[in-house]
Amino acid sequence: MRNWKFGKAALLAAALALTASLSVGSALAYFTAYCTAKGGVPVNMGFTDTEIREEVIDDAKHVWIKNTGDYDCFIRVKVFAPDEIMNLITYTEPEGTDNWSDAPNADGYLYYTPVLHPGEEASELVVKYERPAPPAAGEDTRPEEFNIIVVYEYSPVFFDKDGNAVPDWNFNVFEDDAEQEGNV
């Protein structure tokens, strides 16, 4: 009787194995299919990168930003200075262009409106401090020394649903990985 129970179990296992093997053929055919192709297309896995060049001439800082990367980008600039002189700073483009604007967000940044292509340099931006005249009487409260700091950012070009080039100033390549690994 014991052999009879063992025989039933063996017969059931063999039936299951046979049923399972019927579907393996199509799966193996999927994994062994191949095709060949000739030619190729180079894929550039480069990055977007920029460099800033600043020169101080008189009471003005002249700023140029160049796209040294492999892809198009947008750039923006923010200027920091002591509060007492911040309202005395002006921005000009000596080349007669009108490429820098604070219009998109009015958030304190100056935006370079054209797309900056690889190898191109943005038109010059002049950040000038208009030193006020000394007071006629009383103590001179004008700062003798101060720093004007220019900070810039760039964003790769993205495209909206209509195909227009747009920046994403919140884009962060390492957003998820940095938080998970503690590399903030």
pLDDT at 9: 82
Mean pLDDT rounded to a whole number for the chain: 82
CA trace torsion 113, 117, 123, 125 (10° rounding) = 70
Residue pair 130/60 in contact by the 8 Å Cβ criterion: no
pTM confidence score: 0.65
Higher model confidence: residue 134 or residue 92? 92
Cα gap 113→115, rounded to integer Å: 7
Weakest-pLDDT range from 47-56, 71-80, 144-153: 144-153
Cα gap 71→165, rounded to integer Å: 12
Name the 3-class secondary structure at 135.
coil
- Residue ranges per structural domain of the chain: 54-132+146-169
pLDDT at 59: 78
pLDDT at 148: 87
pLDDT digits (tens, 9 = 90+) for 27-59: 666 666 677 778 887 777 778 899 999 999 887
The DSSP line for 17-79 is: HHHHHHHHHHHHHHHH-----------------EEEEEEEETTEEEEEEEE-SSS-EEEEEEE
pLDDT at 24: 64
Specify the CATH architecture of the domain 54-132+146-169.
Sandwich (2.60)
